[in-house]
């Protein structure tokens, strides 16, 4: 269980808790990321769930609190199936860490993003059965994995606003790519919140609580918040900074690999772009001259907003040390900032600066 069934060439940032990402070229291979390549982000030891004893509690500001076995959940609610991309708020942190040190956080490269086909009950259906009271404003998720990272150590948790929780895309998923959820990805049940940072897709789910306020869990109230550049993250407390929820528009180059040796001349470049909560990717520009001139990449047809939009382009690589740059635009006309220096923040979240790779094309 060393690599939790992942491919041998995963970049392992930590073994305990297990934190690993695939090389970018593994993500280039196909639209759905095979489970063995899917990144894994954990804040504490991976719990083992007893499928017989396990129950999901649904409580808080609801008319009819419930306690459901997996069997009851599956028989009472329709099964929905949906492709969705998960992206960690720390994806591409390595680019920010080049600007200024980010102590205590893993330097994720391009691989803390992956796509799967999820099956489960719609959270909205389960909430409708429980009957939210009028004061209901947030839906909180609890799990048993205790994180030593939290101060004081506590189990992982998160919340999302009721309006998002009722969206048909938000699932309580028991399967990934048609198979029961693997333990490392949250068995027996996990939340999947498409279009939002991965941290809200709570794994090993045990409890859904409807409440008037956001979760006070450390990972909602204190971590996964964007602090101003001058703030001391060690001193940060509940409510400081911007709470991260909906994803920011982002894109990346997946092939060729950064640093690869590629002969000059026509070269195919492949990547993805992902827009935030319900927006869609409208255009991807690629440059081989550091952003002086741009060509538009060809976008894959599928425009489902919850899934990354893959793109490709053939560029004419100059001889010598070449650099390829990519940037995306979304359906609101928003673009990505040029430099990670403008985005640097003490915990290294949301690096959506232009994607860059350097190639040796002698």
Ligand X SMILES: Nc1nc2c(c(=O)[nH]1)N[C@H]1C(S)=C(S)[C@@H](COP(=O)(O)O)O[C@H]1N2
Where do contacts with Mo ion occur on this chain (CB under 5 A)?
41, 88, 198-199
350, 343 in Cβ contact below 8 A? yes
Stretch that binds ligand X, among 62-70, 102-110, 193-201, 238-246 (CB under 6 A): 193-201
The residue from 13, 24, 43, 356 that contacts ligand X (CB under 6 A) is: 43
Closest by Cα among 343, 279, 355, 260 to 311: 355
Residue closer to ligand X by CB (options 198, 233) is: 198
CA dihedral 125, 177, 195, 216 (to 10 degrees): 70
Is 39 one of the binding residues for ligand X (CB under 6 A)?
A: yes
Closest by Cα among 113, 93, 95, 87 to 105: 93
User: DSSP class of residue 276?
Assistant: S
Is 42 one of the binding residues for ligand X (CB under 6 A)?
A: yes
294, 287 in Cβ contact below 8 A? yes
- Minimum distance between the CB of residue 49 and ligand X, rounded to whole angstroms? 11
Residue closer to ligand X by CB (options 115, 287) is: 115
The CA-atom distances, in angstroms, between 57 and each of 54, 118, 143 are 10, 21, 11
The CA-atom distances, in angstroms, between 309 and each of 195, 329, 346 are 13, 12, 30
Spacing of C-alpha 335 from chain mean position: 19
Residue closer to ligand X by CB (options 84, 262) is: 84
Q: Among Mo ion, ligand X, none, what does residue 165 contact (CB within 5–8 Å per kind)?
A: none
Is 202 one of the binding residues for ligand X (CB under 6 A)?
A: yes
Residue closer to ligand X by CB (options 145, 169) is: 145
The residue from 6, 24, 138, 185 that contacts ligand X (CB under 6 A) is: 185
The residue from 6, 92, 138, 203 that contacts ligand X (CB under 6 A) is: 203
Is 41 one of the binding residues for ligand X (CB under 6 A)?
A: yes
Q: In what order do the strands lie in the sheet with 154-161?
A: 66-68, 56-60, 207-211, 138-147, 154-161
Question: Token pair for residue 217?
Answer: 């869990």
Helix (H) or strand (E) holding 128, with range, is: helix 123-130
Residue closer to ligand X by CB (options 115, 211) is: 115
Residue closer to ligand X by CB (options 123, 357) is: 123
Phi and psi torsions of 186, nearest 5°: 120, 15
* 173 strand-pairing partners: 120, 190
Q: Among Mo ion, ligand X, none, what does residue 43 contact (CB within 5–8 Å per kind)?
A: ligand X
- Minimum distance between the CB of residue 321 and ligand X, rounded to whole angstroms? 34
Is 109 one of the binding residues for ligand X (CB under 6 A)?
A: no
| Interface mask toward ligand X for 143-162; x: CB under 6 A | x-x----------x------
Chain residues that interact with ligand X, rule: CB under 6 A: 38-43, 86, 88, 143, 145, 156, 185, 198-199, 201-204
């Amino acid at each position: 269980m060393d690599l939790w069934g992942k491919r041998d060439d995963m970049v392992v940032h930590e073994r305990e808790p297990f934190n690993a990402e695939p090389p970018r070229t593994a993500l280039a291979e196909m639209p759905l990321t095979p489970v063995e390549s899917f990144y894994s982000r954990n804040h504490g030891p991976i719990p083992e769930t007893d499928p017989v004893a396990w129950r999901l509690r649904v409580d808080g500001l609801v008319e009819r609190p419930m306690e459901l076995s997996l069997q009851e959940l599956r028989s009472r609610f329709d099964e929905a199936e949906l492709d969705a991309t998960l992206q960690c708020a720390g994806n591409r942190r390595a680019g920010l860490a080049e600007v200024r040190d980010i102590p205590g956080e893993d330097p994720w490269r391009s691989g803390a993003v992956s796509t799967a086909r999820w099956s489960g009950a719609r959270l909205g259906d389960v909430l409708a059965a429980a009957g939210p009271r009028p004061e209901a404003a947030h839906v909180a998720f609890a799990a048993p994995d205790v994180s030593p990272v939290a101060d004081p150590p506590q189990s992982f948790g998160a919340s999302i606003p009721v309006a998002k929780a009722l969206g048909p895309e938000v699932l309580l998923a028991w399967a990934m790519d048609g198979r029961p959820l693997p333990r490392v990805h949250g068995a027996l049940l996990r939340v999947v919140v498409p279009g939002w940072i991965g941290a809200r897709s709570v794994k090993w789910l045990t409890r859904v609580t409807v409440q008037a306020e956001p979760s006070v869990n450390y990972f909602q109230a204190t971590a996964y918040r964007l602090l101003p550049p001058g703030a001391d993250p060690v001193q940060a407390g509940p409510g400081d900074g911007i709470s991260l929820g909906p994803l920011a528009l982002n894109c990346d180059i997946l092939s060729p690999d950064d640093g690869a040796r590629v002969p000059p001349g026509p070269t195919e470049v492949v990547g993805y772009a992902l827009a935030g909560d319900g927006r869609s990717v409208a255009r991807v520009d690629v440059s081989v001259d550091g952003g002086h001139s741009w060509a538009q990449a060809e976008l894959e047809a599928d425009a489902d907003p919850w899934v990354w939009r893959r793109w490709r382009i053939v560029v004419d690589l100059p001889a010598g040390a070449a650099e390829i740059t990519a940037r995306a635009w979304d359906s609101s006309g928003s673009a990505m900032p040029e430099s990670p220096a403008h985005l640097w923040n003490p915990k290294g979240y949301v690096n959506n600066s232009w994607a860059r790779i350097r190639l040796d094309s002698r």
